[in-house]
């Protein structure tokens, strides 16, 4: 896979109870592809609060400790909203492969949020592969991306 992210850094991943099974499978999938992974949990199916897992993923990306992030919850809305509270994070809620490509091409997204209750695991893998291998186009999109931050 041709990665557009620094493969010297790990990928940060986190999920709540609705996304934990996908998270566990995705961690193994990424490791098989040669990525290091920072797994911020959760690790069980007991009900938990999604911000407790989204914040550490976003912080790792924000601080340059991770190349990018992957977040999962039932709808992916909660983790996506939480991650986007962090400066420098451009989290994209993706439910189709084309959305994952556009999130990178047009928005320079650095976190992908996946709705585990609404996409098949095979599609999640495909979106992750697309997210990791699709470069930011820059050009006309650069100015728009620069306007996203409030600071």
Given the residues 17, 55, 68, 73, select the one marked as catalytic: 73
Residue 34 CA to residue 123 CA, distance in Å, equals 20
Measured CA angle at 35 (ends 25, 67), to 5 deg: 110
Tell me, yes or no, if 68 is annotated catalytic: no
Radius of gyration from C-alpha coordinates of the chain: 14
**In degrees rounded to 5, what are phi and psi of residue 29?**
-60, -45
Tell me, yes or no, if 106 is annotated catalytic: yes
Residue 79 CA to residue 83 CA, distance in Å, equals 6
Q: Catalytic site residues?
A: 73, 106
């Amino acid at each position: 896979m041709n990665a557009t992210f620094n493969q010297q850094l790990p990928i940060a991943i986190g999920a709540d109870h609705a996304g934990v099974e996908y998270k566990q499978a995705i961690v193994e999938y990424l490791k098989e592809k040669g990525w290091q992974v920072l797994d911020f949990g959760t690790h069980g199916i007991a009900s938990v609060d999604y911000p407790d897992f989204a914040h550490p993923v976003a912080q790792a990306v924000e601080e340059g400790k991770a190349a990018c992030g992957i977040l999962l919850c039932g709808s992916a809305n909660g983790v996506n909203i939480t991650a986007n509270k962090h400066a420098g994070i451009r989290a994209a809620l993706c439910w189709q492969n084309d959305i994952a490509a556009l999130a990178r091409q047009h928005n320079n997204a650095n976190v992908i949020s996946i709705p585990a209750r609404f996409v098949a695991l095979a599609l999640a893998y495909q979106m992750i592969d697309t997210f990791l291998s699709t470069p930011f186009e820059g050009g006309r999109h650069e100015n728009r991306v620069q306007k996203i931050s409030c600071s």
